[in-house]
Amino acid sequence: MAAEAGQGFRPLDEASLIAYIKATPALASHLGGGLESITIREVGDGNLNFVYIVTSDSGAIVVKQALPYVRCVGDSWPMTRERAYFEASALREHGRLCPDHVPEVYHFDRAMSLIGMRYIEPPHIILRKGLIAGVEYPFLAEHMSDYMANTLFFTSMIYNTTTDHKRGVAQYCANVEMCRLTEQVVFSDPYRVSKFNRWTSPHLDKDAEAVRVDDALKLEAAELKSMFIERAQALIHGDLHTSSIMVTPDSTQVIDPEFAFYGPMGFDVGAFLGNLILAYFAQDGHADQANDRKAYKKWILKTIEQSWNLFRTKFVELWNKHKEGNGEAYLSDIFNNSDLLSVAQKNYMTNIFHDSLGFGSAKMIRRIVGIAHVEDLESIKDANKRALCERAALNCAKTILKGRRQFENIEQVIVHIQSFDQE
Amino acid sequence: MAAEAGQGFRPLDEASLIAYIKATPALASHLGGGLESITIREVGDGNLNFVYIVTSDSGAIVVKQALPYVRCVGDSWPMTRERAYFEASALREHGRLCPDHVPEVYHFDRAMSLIGMRYIEPPHIILRKGLIAGVEYPFLAEHMSDYMANTLFFTSMIYNTTTDHKRGVAQYCANVEMCRLTEQVVFSDPYRVSKFNRWTSPHLDKDAEAVRVDDALKLEAAELKSMFIERAQALIHGDLHTSSIMVTPDSTQVIDPEFAFYGPMGFDVGAFLGNLILAYFAQDGHADQANDRKAYKKWILKTIEQSWNLFRTKFVELWNKHKEGNGEAYLSDIFNNSDLLSVAQKNYMTNIFHDSLGFGSAKMIRRIVGIAHVEDLESIKDANKRALCERAALNCAKTILKGRRQFENIEQVIVHIQSFDQE
């Protein structure tokens, strides 16, 4: 901490933030002439950062500041403020590739670890909260498949030269502290005794222990962990769960890419799908006499299916559109007939599919027996009921993780998910 | 070139090299007091650099300078001098890990792209020349398996923390020009029409064309190319063919790692094995009444077999020795029983094996129908005889590349190689 504290960094509070904004035209300009009317609300409900909504008579912005520790734990868990640099970089890069679904960055101050960006206004809410409330988002699959196809395709070797790719890889290698956090909490702790692990106890005591002694599961998790570390396939968001997405029925905005680095595409796609599957298994815990959630569960499954199928379709469309471009992986004078290109695309998408199933199920497992749980399940107050939902999700995830290469399409996965329904 | 020419760089000749050495204690000290007796011999027979052997009454060193173009082509093919920095870095890193088989670096001058290093004295010769002459090297498999196991294991995630690994990955990302050269000449040009390609013509015209229209082969080559670019598994030599190795019957020295970067381990192992297989298929072209080369072919096959089997054994021994260490990939509190660790090791080595077969056969193919051929085959003056050797090697390589995942052990590969013998 001490080493990072100097060199122009100071943690802001509401008063000093106002002064900072007034001195920063890139921020002040978005608040119009009404700087005297500024109001500030701190809304950081995440685990890591401080987030301020700054409103004036004529505009609003969001200001986010990273402190040199994990907010929800305190300064006993130090964490580099440099994550703000990678968040700002990824927001800008992904925003360039998919401006409809990424908020614009107005200002980045590396010394202050401070990002000023577009305010994602009401009625946007965190997707996870919408999923808990049972709200349908008819464009969610469409928008998220747009986001994933564009951000992943255009930062892959199918589109880029090796020179550009390695420049990006080198840049994001420095986001190693965030990668290490993921390695620990997703791929390691759930599979060993760790003081950070927790689960619904005593209900899931045996289930948690079963994860720790399941050799086949541990082999798969280790294989995915190595892929996560070694495979620089695209600039991924790195934390694409349903709390990193803000929605209204017709808008979808992806935020918080502070874990961004060049990693396997399936880690993003899997995070999104895996968190939808968790939302699915949580529904029984939210059902009541007024709403049995059966129709909503169907909508979630449909959204999972459409998200993957649209992603696959759009990714291949981008590939076809840019097949004569500068991408190094599949050169047009080698992949010079449509049958051959088509087989290459099918193989490529099948690999992303299996990777996504692996990473998605690993992320489900860690949300049930690891350190960080999801509100979808945590908000089920009845522990018996919650444990039943969690066990169904856990068993589903374990079988997908171990058998992911057997699935030929998302429809088979949907059938598999339903087979773990409590009824 | 112009941009690189300044900032302290000047190409040396023999006269200016003497002055340079006299002004550089790290070099002069290895030549003892006899600086007045210095003699210099330029011996760079490679494609890229100038190499000087500097001898005095009391010592000898090698000085290598990279010029900003490919030596064998001239300044029409520019190439970054920074390759000397990566060569020096890899020599030092691999030398630390395997000092018996890597020459010591005495001095590196980045501005001058100049490396001063240990003179690998006679009777050391380039391994390829020994293989052409039919010389057996009883310790070759032992030494090369030592080199590969140590350099690859200790720079992998099995041994290293993620922090150290990503630091290394980022550093070597900048060696991108050398990676691009490999991508072009190994994975791309042989599979398309390119002015750089050549082959024994007209004998192999149809064979070369067959490579360019073999869709299954092109899919495999593209998959390996993506792995080469994306997968930062270990700090590899990057060009580990039999001309990057100097030998006597009881010494083995690996030189010229200017293509070094964090890539797939199989690229190094495959380069070595693939070049031994090329040497095997060249033997019929070197057979004469005095020596039918049959015994020598058996020795080559034995060396291939032993090189892989010893590499696998030593790599796993290092893994077992360091299993309680800081390596991130297989944590000891997860891989906490010997059965589980043993399965993980078996899977890991099988993957390296299949990768090695893939990369090795891709490197064989490019040496027959691509830009850079091997002296093993080129030195067969009778074009008919040479074409027969080349076709056998090419057909063997194609089948290994396409069917590599079917091989369970190196003994099966040996049987497969022999099935392409001309007799």
CB atoms A329 and B180 under 8 Å = no
Nearest neighbour of A157 by CB, restricted to B188, B226, B333: B226
Please give, rounded to a whole number of angstroms, the shortest distance from the CA of B195 to a CA of chain A. Answer: 13
Q: Is the pLDDT of residue B319 over 90?
A: yes
Q: A261-303, pLDDT tens digit by residue?
A: 999 999 999 999 999 999 999 999 999 999 999 999 999 999 9
CATH, residue B108:
3.30.200.20
At residue B78, the pLDDT reads: 83
Which residue range forms the structural domain that includes residue A369? 125-418
How many independent structural domains does chain B possess?
2
Q: B207-265, pLDDT tens digit by residue?
A: 999 999 999 999 999 999 999 999 999 999 999 999 999 999 999 999 999 999 999 99
Among residues B81, B103, B118, the one where a domain terminates is: B118
CATH, residue A139:
3.90.1200.10
Q: Are residues A110 and A144 in the same domain?
A: no
Q: Is the pLDDT of residue A416 over 90?
A: yes
In a domain? residue A132:
yes
Helix (H, G, I), strand (E, B) or coil at B394: helix
Contact B347, A216 (CB under 8 A): no
Q: ipTM score here?
A: 0.95
Q: What is the 3-state secondary structure (H, E, C) of chain A?
A: CHHHHCCCCCCCCHHHHHHHHHCCHHHHHHHCCCHHHCEEEECCCCCCEEEEEEEECCEEEEEEEECCEECCCEEEEECCCCHHHHHHHHHHHHHHHCHHHCCCEEEEECCCCEEEEECCCCCCEEHHHHHHHCCCCCCHHHHHHHHHHHHHHCCCCCCCCHHHHHHHHHHHHCCHHHHHHHHHHHHHHHHCCCCCCCCCCCCCHHHHHHHHCCHHHHHHHHHHHHHHHHECCEEECCCCCCCCEEEECCEEEECCCCCCEEECHHHHHHHHHHHHHHHHHHHHHHCCCCCCCHHHHHHHHHHHHHHHHHHHHHHHHHHHHCCCCCCCCCCCCCCCCHHHHHHHHHHHHHHHHHHHHHHHHHHHHHHHHCCCCCHHHHCCCCHHHHHHHHHHHHHHHHHHHHHHHHCCCHHHHHHHHHCCCCC
Q: Which residues does chain A have within 8 Å of residue B226's beta carbon, measured at their own beta carbons?
A: 157, 329
In a domain? residue A73:
yes
What are phi and psi for residue B288, nearest 5 degrees? -145, -175
Within its chain, how far is the Cα of A355 from the centroid? Answer: 15
Contact B353, B308 (CB under 8 A): yes
Q: Is the pLDDT of residue B46 over 70?
A: no
Return the amino acid letter for A2: A
- Mean confidence (pLDDT) of chain A: 95
Q: Are residues B112 and B133 in the same domain?
A: no
In a domain? residue A423:
no
Enter the DSSP assignment of B189: G
CB atoms A173 and B176 under 8 Å = no
pLDDT band at B68 (very low <50, low <70, confident <90, very high): confident
At residue A70, the pLDDT reads: 75
Q: Is the pLDDT of residue A423 over 90?
A: no
Nearest chain A residue to B218 by CA distance is: A334
Q: Are residues B80 and B189 in the same domain?
A: no
Q: Which residues does chain B have within 8 Å of residue A229's beta carbon, measured at their own beta carbons?
A: 157, 162, 165, 328-329
Contact A241, A128 (CB under 8 A): yes
B229 inside 8 A of chain A by CB: yes
CB atoms A218 and B329 under 8 Å = no
Please give, rounded to a whole number of angstroms, the shortest distance from the CA of A175 to a CA of chain B. Answer: 9
Among residues A58, A86, A118, the one where a domain terminates is: A118
At residue A375, the pLDDT reads: 98
Q: A1-34, pLDDT tens digit by residue?
A: 344 445 789 999 989 999 999 999 999 999 987 6
Please name the residues in contact with B396: beta carbons below 8 A apart, sequence gap of 6 or more.
B277, B281, B361, B364, B416, B417, B420
Q: B363-421, pLDDT tens digit by residue?
A: 999 999 999 999 999 999 999 999 999 999 999 999 999 999 999 999 999 999 999 99
Contact A385, A270 (CB under 8 A): no
Cα–Cα dist B78/B137, whole Å: 37
Nearest neighbour of A344 by CB, restricted to B191, B219, B229: B219
Cβ neighbours of B77 (radius 10 Å): 12
Q: Which two tokens stand for residue A271?
A: 């995070």
Q: Are residues A167 and A287 in the same domain?
A: yes
B36 inside 8 A of chain A by CB: no
The stretch B183-188 carries a mean pLDDT of 98
Q: Are residues A230 and A316 in the same domain?
A: yes
In a domain? residue B423:
no
Cα–Cα dist B328/B348, whole Å: 15
CB atoms A333 and B163 under 8 Å = no
Helix (H, G, I), strand (E, B) or coil at B73: coil
Q: Could you give the percent of chain B with pLDDT greater than 90?
A: 90
Nearest neighbour of A331 by CB, restricted to B192, B229, B328: B192
Q: Are residues A248 and A391 in the same domain?
A: yes
Among residues A101, A118, A135, the one where a domain terminates is: A118
CB atoms B169 and A166 under 8 Å = no
CB atoms A169 and B174 under 8 Å = no
What are phi and psi for residue A184, nearest 5 degrees? -70, -50
Q: Is the pLDDT of residue B5 over 50?
A: no
pLDDT band at B4 (very low <50, low <70, confident <90, very high): very low
